[in-house]
Chains A and B, each alone.
Chain A
Amino acid sequence: MKRLLTTASFMLAGSILTLAQSLPQVHLDADGLKPRSIEELTGASIASNYALAWRDLEAALESSQAGGIGDEFVGTAKDRLVQRITEQKRTGVHVRIADRGHQVKAVFYSSDGTAMQLTDQAQLEIQILDGNKLLDTENVTHHYIVLMTPGADRWYVRDLEEVPTNVF
């Protein structure tokens, strides 16, 4: 029998996955999620796929190579990220992110299970470089609204929008 969790908390630490030495830490809070509650396996899958998405995003922004993006991103999020990476490559600009972890809260899970909206408070140290020249460094909390949708074997990031601090 599936275990329904009304108060759920899922933790995914980089150290517990052998395949991901640099996997960011994602803490998912699904307390009070509506209109559908989250199941344990779904919560674990969301946290895992979101961590993988950030790992791939960070690698792509640093290398300006979009190769791994399609494994975790679809739709608008993928289109925008690919466009950004293409323009990074053209201009020589690239971004290095030191990921200090994500406090993720699930805020909406559709009744048919086809969409989940999350908010993310991410501790990121971001360096912007032009070639080897460091242009800027910042170390602040970033806030994101995320839409994830399920695929055949994973949850994909469909929309990833950074928002001002006061939005949630």
Chain B
Amino acid sequence: MKASTPCYSLCKDGTRLAWSCLLAICVLAAQANAADLRVPAIVDADRAFSISLDGAGEATFYLIGPDHVVKRTVTLGGALQIQSSDVRAVGRYQVIVCGSSCSSATFDVRATQPAHISFFLHPSRVPVSTPGSIDATAFVFDQNFNLVLIPSTVAFQVHPTNGTSFTRQGSTRLGVTWIRMDSTTKEGRVQVTAALRNVQEARVIQQVASEACGLHIKALPNGDSVTLETDPVRDCSGNALPDGTVVSFTKVDHAGKSTVDTPIKKGIARVRLSVHGSAQISVACGVVLGNEVTVNGKL
């Protein structure tokens, strides 16, 4: 509590005798009007409590918080009830009581039990079997959306559609925790739930096939053209690359070099090329090279 302002202005012009008398009056007046504030150092958000106001007479009470300002007349000499609605937001609150002088005190409001999790899962699509490719972040708030600063453990429950569920845990620091996970080996929907006591928040990401693996084409000559067709295009975990993924066929013959891009349809990519004489044809998908075939077309 801060010291009260002295009742000086009333007394400063008095003579020695009058000074003594006025001083006594000032002391009595101060006792009657200055509030002796006793406030708790920390209170929980959204909880009512009381402040002890010693002294006598009426005074103006102020409560100033992050989202709230209260001003009202109070009678000194008792307990002043602070409503739960007055302290919903965490932070520092200032109490000021002004009678003939002003007294002030501060207290902190802290968050209560976790009631909300703000949960981010990144990215929304991720290739399978990729180390450290999924980030899960959780902010923990109480029922009034105050950040809960007391460390707590958030369980990140991972439920792949194709695969075994597992749980990872993260401990909050300053209300936030994050973990980094590997994607699993099978494509499909993965639900991740951040859970803390009875609070849960779920997000879903899609695991997609990774780069092609063992890319292979076969050639079916037909007169002066050749039809090239891949085997079903899969990644190294056996997941089919999605339709629409582009496969590039590159032909080198005596007419020069040409490339045709074609999307995968129903798991395979197919293209028909005209060839003049002997030609080498290679295939690629993304950064992956496949086999090369040699064909001999008619001139």
Which B163-218 residues have a C-beta within 8 angstroms of A? 173-176, 178, 180
Label chain B's interface by main secondary structure. Answer: strand
B99 to chain A, nearest CB (A): 12
Contacting pair A136 B2 (CB below 8 A): yes
Which residue of the partner chain, among A112, A142, A162, contacts B135 with CB atoms under 8 Å?
Answer: A112
Contacting pair B91 A136 (CB below 8 A): no
Question: What sequence of 0s and 1s flags, for each residue 7-43 of chain A, a beta carbon within 8 Å of any chain B beta carbon?
Answer: 0000000000000000000000000000100000000
Chain B residues, Cβ within 8 Å of A130: 60, 62, 71
Contacting pair A162 B69 (CB below 8 A): no
A119 within 8 A of B: yes
A-B contact count (CB 8 A): 102
Which residue of the partner chain, among A91, A111, A136, A142, contacts B69 with CB atoms under 8 Å?
Answer: A91
Contacting pair A145 B175 (CB below 8 A): yes
Total B residues in contact with A, Cβ cutoff 8 Å = 38
Contacting pair B70 A91 (CB below 8 A): yes
Contacting pair A93 B94 (CB below 8 A): no
Interface size range on A against B: 35 or more
Among A48-56, A66-74, A80-88, A96-104, the stretch that binds chain B is A80-88
A139 within 8 A of B: no
Among B26-34, B141-149, B278-286, the stretch that binds chain A is B141-149
Chain B residues, Cβ within 8 Å of A110: 120, 122, 135, 137, 178
Contacting pair B108 A163 (CB below 8 A): yes
Which residue of the partner chain, among A92, A136, A164, contacts B96 with CB atoms under 8 Å?
Answer: A136
The chain B residue sitting closest to A164, CB to CB, is B108
Chain A residues, Cβ within 8 Å of B178: 35, 108, 110-111
Chain A residues, Cβ within 8 Å of B66: 80, 84, 160-162
Chain B residues, Cβ within 8 Å of A84: 65-69
B33 to chain A, nearest CB (A): 15
**What would 6 A/B residue contacts be, using CB atoms closer than 8 Å?**
A91-B71, A108-B174, A115-B137, A135-B96, A160-B66, A163-B149
